[in-house]
Structure 1
Amino acid sequence: MTDSNSFTLLDQRIQRYIWAEGWTELRDAQELAIPLIVEAKRDVIVAAATAAGKTEAVFLPALTHLLGSKAIDGLIVYISPLKALINDQFGRLDRLCKDLEIPVWPWHGDIAANVKAKFLKRPTGVLLITPESMEAFLCNRGTSVGAIFAGTQYFVVDELHAFIGSERGKQLQSLLHRVEKVIARTVPRIGLSATLGDMQLAADFLRPTKGAEVAVVESYAAAGELRILVKGYEELAVERQPEPNDSEEDKGPEEIAPAQIAAHLFKLLRGSNNLVFPNSRREVERYTHILNEMCAKAQVPNEFWPHHGNLSNELRCETEAALKQHEHPATAICTNTLELGIDIGAVKSVAQIGPPPSVASLRQRLGRSGRRKGEPAILRGYCIESAITSKLELAVHLRLETVQMVAMISLLLEHWIEPPMAAGIHLSTLIQQILSFISQNGGTTASQLFALFVTPDAPFSGLAPDDFKDLLRNLGQKDLLTQDSSDLLLHGQLGERLVNHYSFYAAFASDEEFRIVASGKPLGSLPVSQMMHVGQHILFGGRTWLVEEVNSDEKTIYVVRTKGGVPPTFSGGAGRVHTRVRQRMRELMATTSDVKFVDETAQRFLRESRAAYARLSLDKTLTLDQGSQVFLFTWLGDAANEVISCLLARQGMTAWIAGPGLEVMKKGNTSEDIESVLYDASIEEPPSLLELLSGAQNLERAKWDWALPQNLLQKTYGSLNLNIEEAFNWLRSTFPDGATRPRPSVKTD
């Protein structure tokens, strides 16, 4: 440590702790961050790989500042997206802080009331808290907020990437803004993350309107060895005999590939700790069940545990405990609940079944492996493709599951990740913050709300004054707000009831799926991440269904079996796909270059994909006739494709996102008609959101969207889900000035 300038900046008691821990040097991120943080004079982002020492990079200098500060009641507020992370950090910080005589206070729903009471009596030290608990602070202790946070020296935001572009992120910005207004000073903000792509975007999120002043620490310490293998499995669709109590989902052909993948996992993963990520809760349960049965059949102890958001906290904790203990190996079959930095001990490998929701998600997951010195990070990918038949099913012939996974891994290796939709206006969260602020202060005025939330330096500064008035007016009509004779805004009867319920403090709604109902009989449920249209086909339970009605209030899609036609080419994935991923997929199909990290079967899938791409001339094909439907190839991401589907819907056409393009129902239209509509759109000014989303169903996604007037619901949906600029750039490049207008087909009666 003798040649470390940063080490000398730390308090001597912290230096002694470092020596006692046997550290021989500070890590790269720590050397860079300590000088920036120790004086508590600026906002800082620390971006470094998982297990690169980010927590210590922040807390060693922050605690040094606290020890040397003249403020008797100095406070560090650490904000985490997960209770489990708070518990982990408490374990890491408590031993260090005990020697420093600095108290550490975990604060969430499972913490005893007497512990919280001790903190409130003297709010000093380190407070570990979630945004939801901070919301409860402001709602329920309005008169005490100034005293509680008076000594705050830092706000530390862990897993910063998990907040950017989300309802919780806008809630977090609002809470920090509100606290700073109460204590009448700016508090340095420190953001931590292992998964940030655009640092300027992250800085703008951490300190809105002043992102250019945020210091950024990026650790470029050499990464360890990375081993990747993608295995392909072909689904032969063996018919099974239906059981009497089978649901519609179970009546389709028997799938053999999942059992083959499970057998491979069973053979390779037993004896070590691992994480396996299928793409849904249903698949988590399926693979856990198969693997448990394999353990029982082999008469060996079970090593496979489930972990997803629908499980009780007790069951999730059992899985986490199994991973942490060292006596017996354990593998978690999980959703994104184990993506973030919960301490689950050393993980040997990560398995991904099917393409991940995003490249960012894949990077976060892979960061859980290879954390021990000298051990490689290991990623195993598993892709299932249906057997090719004479029927032209594009998803099958193009081998899209495999191509998408290979594309995402190649982008990961280039250190690219998706930028979040950071420009979203999140009006659902504004409603929550309005109701919360009224609780904090016992009432407020419209002008006070506007000054706090909508002025240029405020979290919702993009909202026009007239839109803000419309919002307040609608909240009154929904009985969320009422106004007394002195113009003071108070909770309406419904607002009072909702604010007093424990679920109010969360800005996000629980994950909801739409029920699928046919002839009054429930078929199951399906997560829906894009607009649905009447007349659209969906694939469910191995069968094709026609959407007859979408009821957003009841979260129900009413369907009937289709007669004839083909099922939708692409049934959608676990996340919204970025244009960069789709373009990389096209590049992979158009080239003959070898991919070194795929097995023989996956390599065959790539060859078959490239052969189909060449056979169908997809390098220059815009539309492809599929009988009752036309496929429109855009090679754009979902946010731009959804805009194009709206443009077609304005002309009476039914279209929906389908992988690298859209499927359009013919209904008397031809490819030329579709291209003609797109040509006309390319030479016109983009329509307003009101025009673009006219007639669109199921736009309510966020918790309080139901309370928005229709025009603001469309604006918030558009800001979060649509990329109009990218869609129109594609239209204009596809139909450049001077291009011949596609000739519409001649319709005959």
Structure 2
Amino acid sequence: MSDFDRLHPSIRHHIVNTLGWPRLRPLQEHSIAPVLDGEHGIFLAPTAGGKTEAAMFPVLTAIAHHGWKPVSVIYLAPLRALLNNLLPRLELYCSFVGLRVGLWHGDTSPSERARMMAEPPDILLTTPESLEAMLISRRVDQDWLFPNLHTVIIDEVHAFAGADRGWHLKAVLERLTHVAGRDLQRIGLSATVGNPEELLEWLTGSSTAPRRIVNPPAEVLAEPEVTLDYVGTLDNAATVISRLHKGEKRLVFVDSRKRVEELALALRALDVTTYVSHGSLGRDERHRSEQAFAEATNCVIVATSTLELGIDVGDLDRVIQIDSPPTVAGFLQRIGRTGRRAGSSRNALFLTTSHESFLTAAGLLRLWASGYVEPATPPEFPAHLLVQQLLALTLQESALGLGSVTWTEWLGDPPALGQEAMEQAGPLLQHLQNIGWIHSDEGVLSPGPEAERSIGKRHFLELTSVFVADPLVSVRHGRVELGQVPDIAITAAFSVKGRPPALLLGGRSWKINDIDWKRRIVRVEPTDLQSSVRFSGGAQPLSYELCQSIAAVLEGASLEPVTLTARAVEALADAQGEIRGAHPGRTVIVSGEKSPRWYTFAGLKANLELAARLTGLRSQAGQKDNLYITLDEGVTKEQLRAAISQETLPEELEALAATASGALKLEQVLPEALITEIMVRRLRDAASVTKVAAAPIDTAEVAVD
């Protein structure tokens, strides 16, 4: 019997006759056995490689063959929009075997939730945050909804693993395992990850069941067409986009909501049909934009990475990248949006607007050409999430009571948040009791008065998110919510003297008519006034590997098969003339017209710590960069070597941690020493610092015109 023959007969019939597929793709064929045999797995395939079907066809077969009762499968994704996009497809697949799928997230109506509670679907689409909200809600009976759970599918698993959301996901999965009373099969789907073995080990947590990586050779595709250009400014980028590929559908990625807005405004000024998509736009506004783009032809949609994760916006002709994504993995997701239509090919055009972004793009494309993909590495020491999980568990178990001794059992063994973090459980519990955030009555835990006051009642839902977000205000035109922006975006609109306050949102200018701070609503109307928008966010740290690749490009490494425009060739020559002596594995002090720069090619994290060791050799203490550290005039190689050979002082590490204040969930209740330890461990790149400290130091001069 072939693996295909193990699928349910109805699914086999519909694959051939309804979907019209002559055969399964390699990943879909190879995933059948591990799913049906109950193994955990990481399933890897390029974007549009059929990962959803690879998991769903055998999972639906298992439900039908075993007669599992609902809810038997949970399908998790990082974005609501991705779940919305998946729903029609999964409804079709479920219909093949008479099963039902339901969608539950923050936008799901109360009536729809009530319907699913009364009649649970076989497969539930949701996010980890909504899943935790179900566990802690008094309106959801977890013992009714989850006792039949067998399998959890995690889409875009790499997007979770590289952030605190991944630790949160693991903790919620362990709690679900506890509720269901059985080991849950865990299946992670990803297009791009450099360390699948470690990711699978991390994902499976406390389970000892068999596990497997399914990563068959990808289907042979035509060589992608990748072009690197240097245009100098965002306005120039808009001009290039308006003139190239007319009549085609173009998706433009910009790694900043502010610059998305600015580019969209510039494109519309050039009479380009332009749509906008980013996380600060209202749900309806974003959906209308994405839907219109999907149905149009000669147009552009400008988006942040929210459209990186496979949300369907129709058949794309071109992907254009403004400047550079920070990772090869992100680039693979983006270029994978093209070439899905018969006769088309994968392609990407990089339009860089600064010398720094040009070098980043060049270094990234060199890594991509070499086949490198970054590992998905969870943030270190998530001890702060113990507080979030403890408070959530007190709400989840409010009826039966949460034991002060046994509460950690809910987080698995080995613990979902890691052994080091769990060692903080006892001290943290005592600390929370001391400050009134946890109450203990004969060993039964509940939220304390300070927790009730700070995040009680409706604010308890804030516990389900591990993000630390700026306070937001709703921007409305009439009854339509255009989006939600941080307070700073509104105050910035009033900061320009002599000009009425105006806001840029959705690629359009809006005059601010009224602000209701109590209800946090800003009312606007369309305007032709000059406007801007400000969102939070800082410089993106680059990896040591990417910075070393930039050094290789500066040394003269080939970028084949990437095509460089004439402007890009000139920009590369300029950079090579300005940064002389670059070489991977070595560092160089470059002197000339500017203050001396020590090019470490180590990344921002390593450079922050190295700069802390150089306090006496540099007066520009505020300077931060991924590639170099500014030195004072006259610093010698010997002085530099002596300084970086010293260990970083504890007080310097504490000062480093203070720069990231406010970055942790529930930081206001954490002990100061614990905050410092978490942030120091997350901000350090000890391995890269060690490499730089041991690397030879060269010197180079740049000729002054």
Shorter-chain-normalised TM-score: which range?
0.7 to 0.9
Q: Does 1:586 align with 2:551?
A: yes
1:149 to 114, 133, 146: 146
Q: Structure 1 residues 624-633 or 704-713, which shifts more?
A: 624-633
Q: Does 1:448 align with 2:411?
A: no
Q: Quote the Cα distance in structure 2 between the aligned partners of 1:278 and 1:403.
A: 17
For 2:520, the equivalent position in structure 1 comes to none
Q: Quote the Cα distance in structure 1 between the aligned partners of 2:50 and 2:282.
A: 31
Alpha-carbon contact 2:320-2:349 (below 8 Å) kept: yes
Distance change in 2, residues 1:331/1:401 (3 Å): same
Q: Quote the Cα distance in structure 2 between the aligned partners of 1:79 and 1:617.
A: 44
Q: Quote the Cα distance in structure 2 between the aligned partners of 1:629 and 1:514.
A: 37
Alpha-carbon contact 1:453-1:461 (below 8 Å) kept: no
% identical equivalent positions: 25
Q: Quote the Cα distance in structure 2 between the aligned partners of 1:425 and 1:599.
A: 45
Q: Quote the Cα distance in structure 2 between the aligned partners of 1:610 and 1:690.
A: 34
Q: Quote the Cα distance in structure 1 between the aligned partners of 2:206 and 2:623.
A: 37
Q: Quote the Cα distance in structure 2 between the aligned partners of 1:514 and 1:470.
A: 36
Q: Structure 1 residues 613-622 or 352-361, which shifts more?
A: 613-622
Alignment of 1:417-496 (within 5 A): 417-442=373-398, 443-453=401-411, 456-463=414-421, 465=423, 467-476=424-433, 478-484=435-441, 486-496=442-452
Q: Spell out, residue by residue over 1:36-83, the C-alpha distance to the aligned partner (whole angstroms, 9 max, x if none).
A: 1123x2101111011111111111000000000043446111011111
Alignment of 1:10-89 (within 5 A): 10-20=7-17, 21-39=19-37, 41-73=38-70, 75-89=72-86
Q: Quote the Cα distance in structure 1 between the aligned partners of 2:174 and 2:428.
A: 21
Q: Spell out, residue by residue over 1:291-318, the C-alpha distance to the aligned partner (whole angstroms, 9 max, x if none).
A: 11211xxxxxx52111111111121111
For 1:566, the equivalent position in structure 2 comes to none
> What amino acid sits opposite 1:503 in the alignment?
E
For 1:671, the equivalent position in structure 2 comes to 635
> What amino acid sits opposite 1:307 in the alignment?
S
> What amino acid sits opposite 1:378 in the alignment?
N
Alpha-carbon contact 2:158-2:193 (below 8 Å) kept: yes
Distance change in 2, residues 1:633/1:454 (3 Å): farther
Q: Spell out, residue by residue over 1:693-735, the C-alpha distance to the aligned partner (whole angstroms, 9 max, x if none).
A: 4773333313322322122112222333321232123213458
Q: Does 1:682 align with 2:645?
A: yes
Report the TM-score when normalising by structure 1. 0.78
For 2:313, the equivalent position in structure 1 comes to 344
1:97 to 94, 99, 102: 94
Q: CA deviation at 1:691?
A: 5.0
Distance change in 2, residues 1:82/1:279 (3 Å): closer
Q: Quote the Cα distance in structure 2 between the aligned partners of 1:211 and 1:319.
A: 46
Q: CA deviation at 1:288?
A: 0.7
Distance change in 2, residues 1:609/1:430 (3 Å): same
Q: Spell out, residue by residue over 1:257-281, the C-alpha distance to the aligned partner (whole angstroms, 9 max, x if none).
A: 3332212211224422221112311
Q: Does 1:222 align with 2:220?
A: yes
Secondary structure in structure 2 of the residue aligned to 1:472: helix
Alpha-carbon contact 2:75-2:152 (below 8 Å) kept: yes
Alpha-carbon contact 2:104-2:113 (below 8 Å) kept: yes
Distance change in 2, residues 1:460/1:522 (3 Å): farther
Q: CA deviation at 1:370?
A: 1.1
> What amino acid sits opposite 1:383 in the alignment?
T
Alpha-carbon contact 1:155-1:187 (below 8 Å) kept: yes
> What amino acid sits opposite 2:224 in the alignment?
L
Report the TM-score when normalising by structure 2. 0.82
Q: CA deviation at 1:617?
A: 10
Secondary structure in structure 2 of the residue aligned to 1:151: coil
Alignment of 1:127-146 (within 5 A): 127-141=124-138, 144-146=141-143
For 1:640, the equivalent position in structure 2 comes to 606
Q: Quote the Cα distance in structure 1 between the aligned partners of 2:585 and 2:420.
A: 40
1:661 to 618, 628, 632: 628
1:575 to 514, 528, 540: 540
Q: Does 1:321 align with 2:321?
A: no
Consecutive unaligned residues in structure 2, runs of 5 or more? 472-485, 498-536, 699-705
> What amino acid sits opposite 1:430 in the alignment?
L
Distance change in 2, residues 1:426/1:447 (3 Å): same
Q: Structure 1 residues 432-441 or 270-279, which shifts more?
A: 270-279
> What amino acid sits opposite 1:682 in the alignment?
S
Distance change in 2, residues 1:704/1:689 (3 Å): farther
Q: Spell out, residue by residue over 1:463-495, the C-alpha distance to the aligned partner (whole angstroms, 9 max, x if none).
A: 263x334433443455432333x2433212332
Q: Spell out, residue by residue over 1:594-652, the C-alpha distance to the aligned partner (whole angstroms, 9 max, x if none).
A: 75511001001112222233379999764346789552221102222222233345999
For 1:601, the equivalent position in structure 2 comes to 567
Q: Quote the Cα distance in structure 2 between the aligned partners of 1:307 and 1:71.
A: 39
Q: Quote the Cα distance in structure 2 between the aligned partners of 1:211 and 1:631.
A: 52
Q: CA deviation at 1:353?
A: 1.0
Secondary structure in structure 2 of the residue aligned to 1:135: helix
Q: Quote the Cα distance in structure 2 between the aligned partners of 1:464 and 1:103.
A: 39
Q: Spell out, residue by residue over 1:96-128, the C-alpha distance to the aligned partner (whole angstroms, 9 max, x if none).
A: 322422111111122233332232224341111
Indicate the RMSD between aligned Cα atoms, in angstroms.
Answer: 3.3
Q: Does 1:361 align with 2:353?
A: no
Alpha-carbon contact 1:590-1:613 (below 8 Å) kept: no
Q: Quote the Cα distance in structure 2 between the aligned partners of 1:494 and 1:331.
A: 50
Secondary structure in structure 1 of the residue aligned to 2:99: coil
1:699 to 637, 661, 679: 661
For 2:679, the equivalent position in structure 1 comes to 717
Distance change in 2, residues 1:286/1:10 (3 Å): same
Secondary structure in structure 1 of the residue aligned to 2:580: helix
Distance change in 2, residues 1:458/1:111 (3 Å): closer
Secondary structure in structure 2 of the residue aligned to 1:5: coil
